[in-house]
Structure 1
Amino acid sequence: MTTQRTLAVVSAGLSQPSSTRLLADRLSAATARELELLGHTVTIEQIELRDHAHAIIDAMLTGFPTGDLARAVDALTKADGVIAVTPLFTTTYSGLFKSFVDILDKESLSQMPVLLGATGGTTRHSLALEYSVRPLFTYLRADVVSTSVFAATDDWATGATQHDGRDDSVNPLPQRIDRAGRALAERVAARENAGPADPFATAPSFLDLLR
Structure 2
Amino acid sequence: MSSFIEIQLLETLNHSRAKRNEVAEYLLRHPESIPDVIDICGKIDEDISCKAAWVLEFVCGKDLSVLLPHINAFLSCAKLVYQDPAVRPMAKICEYLTYAYYKQKTTTLNLTLAQKEKMVALCFDWLITSQKVAAKAYAMTSLYLLGNDVEWVHPELKLLLLQNYDKGSAAYKARARKVLKELT
Fold similarity call, TM over 0.5: no
Q: Which has the larger share of helix?
A: 2
The structure having more radius of gyration, on CA atoms, is: 1
Q: TM-score, normalised by structure 1?
A: 0.29
Q: Which has the larger share of strand?
A: 1
